[in-house]
Each structure stands twice: as structure tokens, then as C-alpha cells.
Amino acid sequence: METQERCKGCWNYLTVPPGQPCSLCNTVYKPKKKANRLASRILQHIDNYANRLSSNNHYNTNTAYGQPTTYAGYHVPLGYGSGYNSPQPTVSGGSYYSPQQQPTVYGDSYYGPTSTLPPPRAYGPDYYNQYSQQVHEQKRAVLCGVTYKGHPKTLPASVNNVRSMHRLLLKLGFPNSSICILTEEESDPTRTPTRHNITIALEWLTKASRSGDSLVFYYAGHGSHVPDVSGDEKDGFDEALCPVDYSVSGKILDDEINRILVKPLPHGVTLHSIMDTCFSGTLLDLPFLCRVDWGGFYKWEDQHPSHVSQYGGTSGGKAICISACDDHQNAADTPAFTGNVIGALTYSFIQVVEKSWNLTYGDLLDNMRKIVRDEQKRQGLDAPFASNKSQEPQLSSSKRFEIYSEAFTL
């Protein structure tokens, strides 16, 4: 039986005849000279449906997450496996924030002069209701980048961060039609990262989730912490996201994010949240925070307040947050890695995921920290471990698990 060819660029199934650009990434597929004519006929037939929604799911995340038997103290790592196997980026001279040579991946012409991806469809208050009636995609994502144009503390890196994450998710099999992007660069006002639009997008992400679904929420922008009034924070502060209109509409507190994004997750659904922002260690209010020292020893820290019986859990699914730093630390954007300003968390996450294999959560966290730490040292910012001047990516979860044996998948 003939099998349908995959695109060599984004690895999705081809929906166009040989010699035509891929409908998702515009890579031109050139078949072998001895290719069977039947394959060409099949592809020509499939071309009639080139605009259909993809239902491919190349990565199965519907795996059982067992609980370890004890978490009384620090665990000895079980071995790092293959880990991060590419050379570290080299930066010569300059400061941590000095520009380097122009990169080919994260530049302003990210999609290339002739390569354009179709923009994600616009969505408004009823978008997720309409979408749920169409083909159910098991891989869905919301990518939010806030630059705060005209603000004294603008963040130009946020757009580059979102573009970079968009490209990564396409490589990992997320259909372009199921990735919702919110930036100030979008022409559709429903995709501006306002407080209302962000909350609507998060509701869409979890709407009608089913067992086997893999969800991603990515955020790049300012973070904040405010005094806790509900009494569910150990440190007395709520963490918060700052939408573009936060001064008018208010910030989005971690309590609200947990209620919209975490609590509805049903059994068999996995959410990964990647937070490239300051004060983000417990931004999803998940029950368990993984404390890892530089030797690889770790323990799960229970975030449940003693007087709160229900805290941060799901409805049977699993939620994992990979954040840029601890609750008392700041997250850096820097051009030192690529030449264009990009978040240290975003860059290190993409580098490790793309260049590693047999990756566990422990490997991911260790190698991300190494990339950020090495660059800080290279630029003379050798802050003490866990200090407020350092930046250590954090891992939190709705369930405790063995981080050096649990495989990382999106």
C-alpha cells in the first residue's frame, strides 16, 4: 500500500502535488526520480482537499503519569540520558545585552522573503463555540506576546519570542489552524493581547478538551506580583500577567489563570504552559514546585496552604508550567544569543527541545539552566544561585513525578 509523503520542512502530510510548495511552510517537495506514479495520482487527488483542517497527531501524549512512592527529601538523579548534545552558542565580547551578528532564524524576515504562513484564524467571544463544531484537533496552542508599544518599558523581544515558538510548534506537529496568536502586530483587533482577548483565548484552548489532547499556552510579556487577598499564597503575593491594557482593565492574577486554564482539564489531557516573564515560578498556582539544585538533586515543594484543602488541581488532567524564573526573580531578554533580542527562557527552551533526543523533564530543566547560566557568566553576571539577581527556569506541576525518567513531549 502506498503511503502519503510528508513535507521535509514541517513534517506534516503533503496535501499538494509533487513540485508544489507545502500549504503550511512553503517547502517544495521534490520526489525521487523512480517514484511510483500511483503516489503522484494519490497526491493529486488529495490536492482537492488542500484547505481542509489537519487531523494528524504525530506525537502521542496520552500516557499515564505514575506517582513516585516518596518525596520526603531530595532525590538523586537517575541519569541524564543523552541530554543536550549541541555546542553552546559562543558570544565574543560585549555585554549581556550587546547585539551580535544577525541570525538566520530569529530575524525580522523570520518567514523569509517568499515564504508566508497563513495567519491563524481570527476569533471573538464565540470563536471557540464555532471551532468546536469543526474537526477536533488534539494539538492546540495559544501564543501571546505583549510588546507594550509606546510604554517606557516596552518589550520588543515578545514578537520574536512568539514567532520562534510558532515555528517550533509547527515542527512538533501542531496544525497551523489550531495555533492562536495574540500580538500587537496582528491586524485583527480580536487578536490584540488585551485582558479580554487573552481570557477568551484561554477559554477556547480548554474548551471541549478530550483525553489525548496536548495543549500549550505560551506567554511573553511583563509579569507582576500583587498582595494576596484570598489567603491562598504562602508568600502573601499573587503572581500576575500584564496584558497590553492592564492599566485600564487590570492584570490577570494567577487565581484566574488557574480557574480558566488548569481546573477544567479532564482526565488524559496535558497542558504545558511556558511563561517567559518575571516572577513566574508559581504563575499557574499549581500544587507542586520542583526544587532542583545545581547537582541535579531535586524535591517537590508542596504549595498547598495549610488552611486550604483544594488548591491548584485539575479535573483529572495534568498541568505543567515551565517558567523563566522563580517568584522573586526577573526574566531577561537579550540579543546575546542570536543578534536579535529574544527571551533567555524562550531561546534556551527551543534550543534544548530541537537539539536533544530522549529528553526528560529533568534534562530539559538542567540544560535550559545551563544555557542561561553560561551566558550570564560569560557577560560577567555571575549571581549567586537562587538569588534575586539570578535567573533559574522553574518547573511546577499539578502532580508529582520522577523528572529524570518522565519523557518530555508536546
With contact defined as beta carbons under 8 Å apart, do 12 and 173 qualify? yes
Rounded Cα–Cα distance for residues 290 and 394 (Å): 7
Q: What are phi and psi of 301, to 5 degrees?
A: -100, 120
With contact defined as beta carbons under 8 Å apart, do 355 and 336 qualify? no
Measured CA angle at 359 (ends 358, 364), to 5 deg: 165
Rounded Cα–Cα distance for residues 244 and 182 (Å): 11
HEC-encoded secondary structure of 41-87:
HHHHHHHHHCCCCCCCCCCCCCCCCCCCCCCCCCECCCCCCCCECCC
Rounded Cα–Cα distance for residues 46 and 405 (Å): 41
Task: Give the start-end residues of each E strand in 89-166.
Answer: 139-145
Provide the grid cell at 304.
Answer: 498547598
Rounded Cα–Cα distance for residues 286 and 307 (Å): 16
With contact defined as beta carbons under 8 Å apart, do 294 and 385 qualify? yes
Supply the residues annotated as catalytic.
Answer: 222, 278
With contact defined as beta carbons under 8 Å apart, do 107 and 123 qualify? no
From first CA to last CA, the distance across the chain in angstroms is 30
With contact defined as beta carbons under 8 Å apart, do 270 and 196 qualify? no
Rounded Cα–Cα distance for residues 205 and 216 (Å): 8
Rounded Cα–Cα distance for residues 121 and 113 (Å): 22
